Amino acid sequence: MEIVDWRLFDPANSLFKSERNKRATFTLTKCSLQSCPLKAKGKCVMANMFTQRCPYGVTRREEGFTPRARKFYSWMNERKESVKDIQQKSSFDKVAIIGDYVWFPYHHWYMGSSLSEKYRGGAFNSKNFIEKEVFTPEFFQLLVTQRPHALFGGEIKSYQKEVVPLMVVHVKEELPKFYSEWASAYPDTASKFVEISSIGRKARLDSIAINVNVRVNSGKNATFGLWDGTQIVVENYAPFFMNVDIETTELIITPKKDVVITITDDNQVTEDTIFID
């Protein structure tokens, strides 16, 4: 099996004093699937410890020494050296086909009363994998239209309001052929999601429309600048640290590559926009 991800816990550099006397740990994630589409993206579903274990993945955890031990640093360096050519992966929060399964990392879908017992889960028992042969347009229609209830009763309102629109958008982006089959089979349902807003989603700045205003800060007092495809120009910028009277100012920002912004206007989105959520 191929090593696809690793984590090395260094107690000596822990932010918490209570952990500084613990033993170091080295965790390897191995994958038996040669053609996993997420590897090329630098992603791995097992990078998130709270998800259901991937059918093709295993983890091996090795315990080392405490920082007080003489072998601590040599043990740490040996483990780092052994994985120096392996890029650490991040989790993937969108639907994906992984071998014979569909990775489906969305909240509450597994709490629907119409699902078979195999796919039923709960607040502390999420389900993330569905066999490809089970994930049909009919099954997806069930997920889109169901209204899951919480453990102690009461509909989970956020499911239909937030989760389902995100599910539909992701299926359309990641599985366009499947989306077309579902939309053709259930046009009335699909028509409800034609005008889904992208406001609030995360996207790469270099993939959005040009000559649109983008937000360049956080907090209550928003500052916007005009994105021209290369730079962001903020006019009438008023820096708080200046103690002289300024008539006009202009702030020019040159973002680093792959900067991610939050969409604040649907006009920022084009067919080429690359979302990361």
pLDDT in tens, 62-108: 999 999 999 999 999 999 999 999 999 998 989 999 999 999 999 99
- Residue 53 pLDDT grade (very low, low, confident, very high; cuts 50, 70, 90): confident
Of the candidates 251, 225, 222, 254, which has an alpha carbon nearest to the alpha carbon of residue 238? 251
Confidence (pTM): 0.76
**Cα radius of gyration rounded to whole Å, the chain:** 23
Instruction: Specify burial of residue 176 (Cβ count, 10 A radius: 0-12, 13-18, 19+).
Output: exposed
Cα separation of 153 and 148, whole Å? 10
Span 114-129, pLDDT tens digits: 888 888 887 667 789 9
Of the candidates 227, 273, 276, 236, which has an alpha carbon nearest to the alpha carbon of residue 254? 227
Cα separation of 118 and 263, whole Å? 37
CA distances from 100 to 6, 96, 134, 144, 169 (A): 24, 11, 10, 22, 22
Q: What is the largest CA-CA distance in the chain?
A: 69
Of the candidates 248, 245, 209, 216, which has an alpha carbon nearest to the alpha carbon of residue 232? 216
